[in-house]
Amino acid sequence: MIHRSLACGAVKAVLGLGANLGDPADTFRKAAKAIANVDGVTVTAAAPLYVSRPWGKTDQPDFTNSALLIETQLSPRRLLAALLDVEKELGRIRAEHWGPRVIDIDILVYGEELLAEPELSIPHPHLTERSFALKPLVDLWPTAKIGERPASEILTRLDLSDLTPAGPGNWHREPVRRN
């Protein structure tokens, strides 16, 4: 994991990545590079890949999930807008709620910010119920808090039996650099 001090005014955040169409590891590499090229965002580390059964709508292929640790000077809303642009650039089509997708990028946590708006909630809704999102977050930021509770403590209460490491998956070991 790469450790750097936060740039002046930067906030540490974790972005969740998910996909069950195409080649998720390749798509995650492309997403990490695109996110690193957003002004005001630095990708500092990536979690390993995990495979799990779908959540919500279960009649679809298994998902591959991971997360990126970033530092950002963007507001949560500006960061979300940039992430939606990256999803679109990578071929995301929003056809079905919780349906199959080539990429999904969510803001899991943004510092210790609490935000509840129709278009954006931080921490991400259902984060405390989803091992496939919480495990990669804890891999990257073991001391992160979800509300007042440590994420690592919440993770100990979740069933991890459906979460399978996705092999050696060295996607996260490659440095993520701006173009």
pTM score above 0.85: yes
Q: Answer yes or no: is 41 within a domain.
A: yes
Q: Where in the sequence is the domain holding 114, given as residue range(s)?
A: 11-169
Torsion sign, CA atoms 127, 131, 136, 139:
positive
Structurally, the chain folds into a number of domains equal to: 1
The pLDDT of residue 5: 47
The pLDDT of residue 9: 78
Q: Largest Cα–Cα distance in the chain? A: 46
Q: Answer yes or no: is 175 within a domain.
A: no
Q: Answer yes or no: is 4 within a domain.
A: no
The pLDDT of residue 98: 60
Assigned token pair, 125: 């809704």
Q: Answer yes or no: is 2 within a domain.
A: no
The pLDDT of residue 163: 87
Name the active-site residue from 39, 59, 62, 101.
101
Q: Answer yes or no: is 42 within a domain.
A: yes
Residue 23 known to be catalytic: no
Name the active-site residue from 104, 139, 162, 173.
104
Q: Answer yes or no: is 3 within a domain.
A: no
Name the active-site residue from 23, 106, 149, 178.
106
The pLDDT of residue 99: 64
The DSSP call for residue 98 is T
Q: Answer yes or no: is 179 within a domain.
A: no
Residue 104 known to be catalytic: yes
User: What is the full per-residue pLDDT of the chain (179 aa) written as tens digits?
Assistant: 333 445 667 899 999 999 999 999 999 999 999 999 999 999 999 999 999 988 777 777 888 999 999 999 999 999 999 999 999 999 877 666 666 888 999 999 999 887 788 888 888 888 888 899 999 999 999 999 998 899 999 999 998 988 888 854 556 655 555 55
SS (H, E, C) 46-68: ECCCEEECCCCCCCCCCEEEEEE
Residue 106 known to be catalytic: yes
- Which residues are CB-contacts of 98 (< 8 A; sequence separation ≥ 6)? 54, 55, 56, 57
Name the active-site residue from 23, 92, 159, 178.
92
Q: Answer yes or no: is 5 within a domain.
A: no
The pLDDT of residue 109: 93
State the CATH number of the domain containing residue 135.
3.30.70.560
Assigned token pair, 171: 């996607």
